[in-house]
Amino acid sequence: MAKVPVQFTLNGEEKADFVDGGATLLKVLREKVGDTSAKAGCQQGTCGSCSVIIDGELRLSCLTLAETCGGAEIHTTGGLATDGVLHPLQRAFMDEFAAQCGFCTPGMIMAAKVLLDRNPNPSHEDVVEALSGNVCRCTGYEPIIRAVLTAARSNSQNAA
């Protein structure tokens, strides 16, 4: 199968590789780049566990062809903590008991980050809407929603 060269930044670092034509970004991130934080839950775009941020937009990496990501800025939950300091969302997910098995958590955090980047003071309904593409089967959704609202509050306190 013909290989395709692709180059992008992942959490601020340059990455380049030859990928199979038709390979998904999810597969390339996990198996070639070595960032396994995005998860393969359904591989048909319905569960949100593979969510990543591409050029500021929330994307399903299981439905994104790697070869279309040339020059893109990609962010994952695996790169969210900087120098070992957790992002407020990560802190809030810990404090609010918003993770149980943890499999949906990286995707949830990506969806929440895109929301907070655009809307620093979301309502409960805004959070529900922003997480509506992400499925969780353990904790229930309320602790996750609480965590996002808590993170938003701690952000605005830090900004004040």
Site residues (CB under 8 A) for another protein?
A: 20, 22, 30-31, 35-44, 46-47, 49, 76-78, 80-81, 86, 89-91, 93-95, 97, 99-106, 109, 135-138
In whole angstroms, the minimum distance from the beta carbon of 129 to another protein comes to 21
In whole angstroms, the minimum distance from the beta carbon of 76 to another protein comes to 7
In whole angstroms, the minimum distance from the beta carbon of 45 to another protein comes to 11
* Residue number, 88 or 122, with CB nearest to another protein: 88
Three state DSSP letters for 59-120:
EECCCCEHHHCCCCEEECHHHCCECCECCHHHHHHHHCCCCCCCCCHHHHHHHHHHHHHHCC
Q: What is the dihedral of CA 79, 77, 110, 124, to 10 degrees?
A: -110
